[in-house]
Amino acid sequence: MSRLFAGGFALAVSAALAAAADDKTEPKEKPAVTTWEREVSGIDLKFEVGKDTVKIFVFAGENGAIVTSKTAEKDGVVKATVTAVEEKGNFPSKPKVGLEWSFKWAVKGDTAVLSDLKGTGLDEAKPILEGEYKQKKPKK
């Protein structure tokens, strides 16, 4: 379960950075937050990506965590630091505030790919977090 959470967390951060990069080239009517989603092994991942933050929702049924990180992107690499963690139900494998991690995030259309995940204690989460995410389109 901790591996799934760690993977979801890293992915959310990368999505946030990619969305922030997109904000620089998109029209001003683009929403302030871009949402990316993925399901892996019964774990639902949702990333709400802002200009310099990412909020990651990682849930397995009623149990989960909401992790907020401050992000910065340079040369295609997103660096993030966990600033807040909120547990819902019983979710024992949540990251600690202050955790620093990084990843590569590439967006093409409504698909984003997270790769090269790095951070202390994230080795087991790597296979869960790395991969393709789909953008959730805002309702009109």
- Establish how many alpha carbons lie within 13 A of residue 114's alpha carbon, considering only the half-sphere containing its beta carbon: 35
In this structure, what CATH number is given to the domain that contains residue 52? Answer: 2.40.128
Secondary structure class of 4 (helix, strand, coil): helix
> What's the first-to-final CA gap in the chain, in angstroms?
36
Report the pLDDT value the prediction gives residue 122, as an integer from 0 to 100: 81
Q: Which domain holds residue 93?
A: 2-136
The number of folded domains in the chain is 1
Question: What number of other Cβ atoms are within 10 A of residue 24's Cβ?
Answer: 7
Q: Report how far residue 34's alpha carbon sits from residue 75's, in angstroms, rounded to the nearest whole number.
A: 21
Structure confidence at residue 68 (pLDDT): 94
Identify the weakest region by mean pLDDT among 67-81, 83-97, 118-132.
118-132
